[in-house]
Amino acid sequence: MTKLPSYQTLILQPTGEHLLQVTINRPDSRNALNTQMGHDLVTVFEGVAQEPERWRCIVLTGEGEQAFCAGGDLKERDGMTNGAWHSQHLVFERMVRALLGCPVPLIAAVNGVAYGGGLEIAGACDFIYAAEHARFAMPEGKLGIIPGGGGTQTLARAVGERRAKELILSGRPFTAHQALAWGLVNACFPAANLLPAALDMARTIAANAPIAVRQAKQSIHKGLQMGLADGLAFEIEAYNRTVPTQDRREGVRAFNEKRPPRFHGR
């Protein structure tokens, strides 16, 4: 396998065939989001979009047990001019688009605090597993701003309009178990079990036909932004892309031969 590039704020680690773990690595600042991390995440996930067949599932987590990402790095932002702030935020906007546009399934393993931009990064993933001690918040109102990394959109889509208004307008933190009950988080685990559980799910996803998985992901995501008739039409277009693949023929053959399928993404 080609050696993966190194980054100032991220650790990239293959964790099995076609599986990638991306770890946010600024533990001294509780993995806070700075400009360099924005650039690094853009580079990684735009790269995935350019070469989607390389990986079949990605797990995104934070270094240590204290924080997934504590939000924007306010030390870096202290004293920023309006122009510098806007320039930095353009990087963060591109970062969110790269995460949301990732064609490969992306699981957030939230290992601690996910506040502000950290919650927005997690919310841009396909689904979230959380450690039982993890805490979430959208505290931007306490800083004189609003969530600007997709938070007003992804949180509302996950928990509903009324709950999202309560959480964003108050800025109050909430627990992993509350996030689970409200539909933001898919499952909670003891801290030691979080990453193994996320990687186990990643392996399950990666064992399926990768073209079919990517098409299903896009059909769900895009379809929810359409009316039902348009969503059904989009689904059929995605379905039809899987019919001529070798993987479709292999899946049927393996079922009839009573053996695990061997998918090659073709």
C-alpha radius of gyration, the chain, whole number: 19
Q: Which CATH architecture has domain 210-256?
A: Orthogonal Bundle (1.10)
Do domains 10-206 and 210-256 share one topology? The answer is no
Residue spans per domain, the chain? 10-206, 210-256
The second-level CATH assignment, the architecture, of 10-206 is: Alpha-Beta Complex (3.90)
Residues 70 and 30: beta-carbon distance below 8 Å: yes
Q: Which residues of the chain have pLDDT under 50?
A: none
Q: Quick one: pLDDT at residue 121?
A: 98
The pLDDT, as a whole number, for residue 16 is 83
pLDDT tens-digit map of 121-154: 999 999 999 999 999 999 999 999 999 999 999 9
Predicted local confidence at residue 3, as pLDDT: 79
Q: Are 238 and 49 in contact (CB under 8 A)?
A: no
pLDDT given at position 130:
98
* 138 vs 261: CA distance, rounded Å: 43
Res 56: pLDDT: 97
